[in-house]
Structure 1
Amino acid sequence: MADPPTTIAHRGFAGHFPENTVAAVRGAADCGADVVEVDVMPTGDGDVVVFHDNHLGDTDESRGVTDCEGLVWDRPTDVVTGARVLGTDQRVPTLADVVAARPSDVGLNVELKNPGTTAIRPFEALSGQDRVAARERWTPFVERVLSMADECETEVLFSSFCEGALAAVRARRPNARLAALFGRRDWKAGATVARRYDVDALHVPLAQVDHPELVDLTAALGTAVNVWTVRDWQDARRALAAGADGIIDDYPDLHRYTTG
């Protein structure tokens, strides 16, 4: 019998719990997640918080996740961490809060979402001075993230769509575990970044799980393939049929409904 896939709780099973909160982390662990995935960015005071959208409120591409307004990295920490998430009593946590809440037998995947600027150049493989500038842009924030991740009893997996983020982690922690996040359209950039940093995992969108170059890339790098975002049993079936090692899912136990 094949080994079950690694279950990576996307934002702490975002379809089941208020995303990226302490309750989501604890709930995902209780539901049997192998790994909990969270997003991080800085507040205006430079503290690392667990949040996905750029804005606290409903504006631009942000979804109105909290009852507050403003660009996360422009707002003071007490405002950000005082914001209620999705109409619940849960507040936006710091990364330190999440690290403390996570059981030691559950892994942590920290997605480096933003260092506090819109100039992050996601989905690109950079070259020359552009790569150096991107790495330096991410470095101060990455250093704060790494200091908090050091409190984990288990090794943390760092992932990002941004080469600058992965470059900054690799420069500061040569042995850190990295995952390259692939965009939905441009396979080439993700593959280039994955090779460049000898990553430990490929985080591939469901739409790209059948890409013909995936088998060759994983064989060359010896990496795991984790598929995002799995939202129902049909997504899970497709991902596992394609040979995924893990599923980054919004709901618990989806891998149980993929046979027959």
Structure 2
Amino acid sequence: MTTPAVIAHRGFAGVAPENTVAAALAAAEFDETAMLEIDVQPASCGTPVVIHDERLDGTRDGRPLTDASGFVWETDLETLQTTRVLGTDATIPTLAEFLEAIPETLGVNVELKNPGTTELRFAESLAPDERDDRRGIWEPFVERVVEECRAFDGEILYSSFCEGALAAVREAGPTYPAATLVWDDPEAGLEIARRYDCEAIHPPRNAIAGTALATTPYYGLPEAEPEIDIVAEAHAEGRTVNVWTVTNWQQFAQLAEAGVDGIIADYPGLGTVSQTS
């Protein structure tokens, strides 16, 4: 059994303020960290910033996500750059600031979260007559993201739950690898990955056949043995399988045994523990 690559979810969000430079630098201190996973959206001026929630007034375990409120894409850049994350001194970085701060020995999985709209068409396989329209909605933002990433000499992997974002990536940055993020329909995820010749696919941890995780509650996703073996099918097509999101060593061990290539994790050290247990 090979050990999957460890991808630090929002910079190991279980131990650091998510999607911040501080979290990224802390994650870089662990030898196991192969890649950082981050989320990007636009400020009101269009500048890509690193944050997950579409609203600034979300919560994490009852704690305010930030000390501001409103939609990210309706907030000016100066406000975002002084907005503190999870009660710490860490603030929301621009994508350019984030990439400039981290070592280029680390890869970065840039999840294209939102181009600035409440109508995302999240995790949908689009009909042919809808694809150009959705690509057009994403293109201005994706072009800005790709432009910022060109200054980073490390590995970049783009991913999204939104087909329009992947279509825009193939136009704006065709030389970069891309991954489709899967929600509740693995077959649709594979279909989208094939449509855009994605190098990777990112299913949730309970979409992996033959594991106890497949029948364990997770984000309200189906609690049944998957109808398809997404790992086998993706590997047969030459695609990498990176699974989200792992929070303990038991989950890590199950997914490693199932043969996934990468594990997006909230905590460091889970692979090390699973190998010694």
Structure 1 runs not aligned, ≥5 long? none
C-alpha separation between the residues in 2 aligned to 1:195 and 1:63?
40
Letter in 1 for 2:256: L
Quick check: 1:64 aligned with 2:64? Answer: yes
Letter in 2 for 1:252: P
> Could you tell me whether the CA contact under 8 Å between 2:208 and 2:229 is conserved in 1?
no
Letter in 1 for 2:200: A
> Could you tell me whether the CA contact under 8 Å between 1:156 and 1:177 is conserved in 2?
yes
Letter in 2 for 1:40: V
> Could you tell me whether the CA contact under 8 Å between 1:53 and 1:63 is conserved in 2?
no
Q: Which residue of 1 aligns with 2:15?
A: 16
Measured after TM superposition, the shift of residue 130 of structure 1 is 1.0
Q: Which residue of 2 aligns with 1:6?
A: 5
> Could you tell me whether the CA contact under 8 Å between 2:3 and 2:256 is conserved in 1?
no
Q: Which residue of 1 aligns with 2:221?
A: none
C-alpha separation between the residues in 2 aligned to 1:257 and 1:230?
13
Q: Which residue of 1 aligns with 2:177?
A: 177
Q: Which residue of 1 aligns with 2:114?
A: 114
> Could you tell me whether the CA contact under 8 Å between 1:199 and 1:221 is conserved in 2?
no
> Could you say what secondary structure the match of 2:64 adopts?
coil
Measured after TM superposition, the shift of residue 104 of structure 1 is 1.1
C-alpha separation between the residues in 1 aligned to 2:55 and 2:136?
24
Quick check: 1:233 aligned with 2:249? Answer: yes
> Could you say what secondary structure the match of 1:111 adopts?
strand
Measured after TM superposition, the shift of residue 47 of structure 1 is 1.0
Of the structure 1 ranges 214-223 and 186-195, higher mean CA displacement relative to structure 2 is found in: 214-223
C-alpha separation between the residues in 1 aligned to 2:64 and 2:238?
39
> Could you tell me whether the CA contact under 8 Å between 1:57 and 1:63 is conserved in 2?
no
Q: Which residue of 2 aligns with 1:167?
A: 167
> Could you say what secondary structure the match of 1:49 adopts?
strand
C-alpha separation between the residues in 1 aligned to 2:58 and 2:123?
24
Out of 224, 235, 247, the residue aligned to residue 219 of structure 1 is 235
Letter in 1 for 2:13: A
Provide the aligned length of Structure 1 versus Structure 2: 256
CA RMSD of aligned residues (A): 1.5
> Could you say what secondary structure the match of 2:137 adopts?
helix
The alignment-based identity, stated in percent, is 46
Structure 2 runs not aligned, ≥5 long? 210-225
Measured after TM superposition, the shift of residue 174 of structure 1 is 2.1
Q: Which residue of 2 aligns with 1:193?
A: 192
> Could you say what secondary structure the match of 1:258 adopts?
helix
Q: Which residue of 1 aligns with 2:51?
A: 51
Measured after TM superposition, the shift of residue 173 of structure 1 is 2.2
Q: Which residue of 2 aligns with 1:249?
A: 265
Give deviations 1:122-141, integer Å, cap 9, x for gaps. Answer: 11111222111110000000
Q: 1:173 to 1:195 in 2, by over 3 A?
A: same
Measured after TM superposition, the shift of residue 242 of structure 1 is 1.2
TM-score for the superposition, normalised by structure 2? 0.89
> Could you tell me whether the CA contact under 8 Å between 1:198 and 1:221 is conserved in 2?
no
TM superposition outliers: structure 1 runs of 4+ over 3 Å: none
Give deviations 1:81-128, integer Å, cap 9, x for gaps. Answer: 111000100000000011011101111110000000011101111122
Of the structure 1 ranges 250-259 and 102-111, higher mean CA displacement relative to structure 2 is found in: 250-259
C-alpha separation between the residues in 2 aligned to 1:64 and 1:195?
39
Q: Which residue of 2 aligns with 1:27?
A: 26
C-alpha separation between the residues in 2 aligned to 1:219 and 1:36?
23
C-alpha separation between the residues in 2 aligned to 1:20 and 1:175?
25
